């Protein structure tokens, strides 16, 4: 099997580091052949807090995926979440260079994009994404691709996502120390990657808000007209809920997390009116009984705060009236009551988004917890299809049991 048929995605999250390796098919689709997952203990709110621990988690996840796939990862597409992510919408205007026929070319589009990206980016920040929204030709707006059209003045509207340079370099340094290579174009905001896995083109066109509810952060992206319009990363997530349970009930941190996952609910109206007693370990080595309503009140308070802040973010963005629904994903979206509470606060239908993937090993990645890493694969493939950018793929090959099977299957 040629080296160019393997692609590797890496999601370095606050609670877990996940690596997925996939074989690329002739039709531009993919099938997962390797999966690795390791606890993250060197990350907080999407940013590196301990280099050694982060590198160890990366190595463990990648090694597990390599062993399953029978291939060694080299280049990877990398998801990032923290680093004080910010966004703004901007525009660039240029004159069409063809002064005779006034035919708009790819060079005109490129110059317009460069003009938009040159505006007001602080020196301590990096442009992570520059996404075209639409073009305007001599006052005619709403054009997705003006190539070949006739005009004199070309304007492009773009959505720029920036991140702290130092925070980004810390993540890239950890990947490098783990023996991986990451190209500049292969760094993707996690919520944008997740959108590839859980949102339909129709939702993006009609207007939708994506909440990527992770452990350390909650990514927020607003889509309308098929393009991102607003991006925010809130430094609150599932770990905030766990800490609230830990502090309020004086439970151990481990038991607080288990209690949240197994018994937690953030919408009291979904619980039986009589409630129920739950037994959990306390910090003194004993046990205590807690009413399920008390646990629910703790979780509901924090989830309501997160949802309310993002609802206000949506209103402030100016796109509130253009959003028809809310899609939640990320591991914390699995908490009982999250979609119901989101629907109540945003006053719109809300659903939990699962990765749109049905190929090999789908049972391992079919969860909101793995929307980002699945979306990274989809992002890379769609970028190649629509933008002509080459997909980074595994360059090294290690013949193993699974590698030999794949060679025989794929010829």
pLDDT digits (tens, 9 = 90+) for 117-165: 887 788 899 999 999 999 999 999 999 999 999 999 999 999 999 999 9
**CA angle, 187 as apex, 164 and 399 as ends, to 5°?**
140
404 confidence band (pLDDT: 50, 70, 90)? very low
Is 60 exceeded by the pLDDT of residue 111? yes
Looking at 3.40.50.720, 1.10.274.10, 3.40.50.510, 3.30.420.40, the CATH number of the domain 198-353 comes to: 3.30.420.40
Is 60 exceeded by the pLDDT of residue 312? yes
pLDDT for position 369: 94
Indicate the average pLDDT of the chain: 89
pLDDT for position 123: 86
Dihedral sign for Cα atoms in the order 374, 227, 233, 52: positive
Cα–Cα distance for residue pair 101/118, rounded to 1 Å: 28
Domain assignments of the chain as residue spans, ordered by start: 1-76+354-411, 86-165, 198-353
- Dihedral pair phi/psi, residue 401, rounded to 5°: -60, -50
Q: Which residues of 50-70 are buried (b: 16+ CB within 10 A; e: fewer)?
A: eeebbbbbbbbbbbbbbebbb
For the residues 171-182, what does the mean pLDDT come to? 95
Which fold, 86-165? Answer: Dna Ligase; domain 1 (3.30.1490)
For the residues 10-29, what does the mean pLDDT come to? 89
pLDDT for position 401: 40
Cα–Cα distance for residue pair 166/12, rounded to 1 Å: 16
pLDDT for position 24: 86
Q: Tokens 């979780």 — which residue? A: 299
Please state the pTM of the whole predicted model: 0.89
CATH architecture of 1-76+354-411: 2-Layer Sandwich (3.30)
pLDDT for position 383: 73
Is 90 exceeded by the pLDDT of residue 5? no
Cα–Cα distance for residue pair 78/187, rounded to 1 Å: 5
Three-state helix/strand/coil letters over 165-202: HHHHHHHHHHHHHCCCECCHHHEEEHHHHHHHHHCCHH
pLDDT digits (tens, 9 = 90+) for 250-308: 888 999 999 999 999 999 999 999 888 888 887 777 888 889 999 999 999 999 999 99
For the residues 211-226, what does the mean pLDDT come to? 96
DSSP string, 66-92: HHHHTS---B-EEEE--S--EEEEEEE
User: Quick one: 365 exposed, middle or buried, by C-beta within 10 A (0-12, 13-18, 19+)?
Assistant: buried
394 confidence band (pLDDT: 50, 70, 90)? low
Strands 6-12 and 77-80: parallel
Q: 1-76+354-411 and 198-353 share one CATH topology?
A: yes
Cα–Cα distance for residue pair 104/100, rounded to 1 Å: 11
Percent of the chain with pLDDT over 70: 92
Dihedral sign for Cα atoms in the order 161, 165, 167, 172: positive
Contacts of 347 (CB under 8 A, 6+ apart): none
Cα–Cα distance for residue pair 402/264, rounded to 1 Å: 40
CA atoms within 13 A on the CB side of 316: 9
């Amino acid at each position: 099997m040629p080296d160019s048929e393997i692609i590797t995605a890496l999601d370095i999250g606050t609670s877990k580091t996940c690596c997925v390796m996939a074989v690329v098919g002739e039709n531009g689709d993919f099938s997962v052949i390797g999966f690795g997952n390791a606890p993250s203990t060197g990350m907080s709110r999407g940013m590196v807090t301990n280099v050694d621990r982060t590198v160890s988690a990366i190595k463990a996840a990648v090694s597990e995926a390599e062993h399953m796939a029978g291939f060694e990862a080299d280049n990877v597409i990398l998801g990032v979440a923290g680093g004080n992510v910010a966004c703004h919408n901007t525009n660039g205007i240029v004159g069409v260079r063809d002064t005779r026929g006034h035919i708009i070319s790819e060079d005109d589009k490129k110059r317009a994009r460069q003009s938009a990206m040159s505006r007001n980016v602080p020196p301590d920040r990096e442009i992570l994404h520059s996404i075209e929204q639409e073009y305007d030709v001599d006052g005619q707006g709403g054009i997705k691709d003006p190539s070949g059209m006739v005009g004199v003045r070309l304007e492009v509207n773009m959505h720029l996502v920036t991140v702290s340079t130092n925070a980004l370099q810390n993540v890239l340094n950890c990947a490098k120390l783990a023996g991986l290579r990451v190209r500049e174009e292969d760094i993707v905001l996690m919520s944008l990657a997740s959108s590839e896995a859980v949102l339909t083109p129709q939702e993006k066109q009609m207007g939708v808000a994506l909440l990527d509810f992770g452990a350390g952060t909650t990514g927020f992206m607003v889509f309308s007209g098929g393009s991102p319009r607003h991006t925010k990363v809130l430094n609150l997530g599932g770990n905030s809920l766990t800490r609230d349970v830990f502090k309020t009930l004086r439970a151990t941190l481990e038991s607080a997390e288990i209690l949240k996952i197994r018994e937690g609910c953030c919408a009291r109206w979904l619980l039986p009116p009589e409630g129920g007693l739950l037994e959990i370990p306390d910090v003194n080595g004993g046990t205590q009984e807690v009413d399920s309503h008390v646990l629910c009140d703790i979780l509901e308070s924090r989830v309501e705060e997160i949802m309310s802040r993002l609802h206000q973010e949506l209103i402030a963005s100016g796109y509130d009236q253009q959003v028809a629904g809310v899609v939640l994903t990320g591991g914390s979206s699995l908490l009982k009551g999250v979609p119901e509470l989101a629907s109540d606060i945003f006053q719109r239908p809300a659903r939990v988004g699962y990765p749109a993937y049905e190929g090999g090993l789908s049972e391992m990645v079919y969860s909101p917890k793995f929307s980002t890493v699945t979306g990274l694969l989809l992002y890379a493939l769609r970028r190649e299809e629509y933008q002509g950018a080459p997909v980074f793929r595994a360059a090294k090959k290690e013949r193993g049991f699974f590698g030999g099977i794949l060679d025989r299957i794929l010829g």
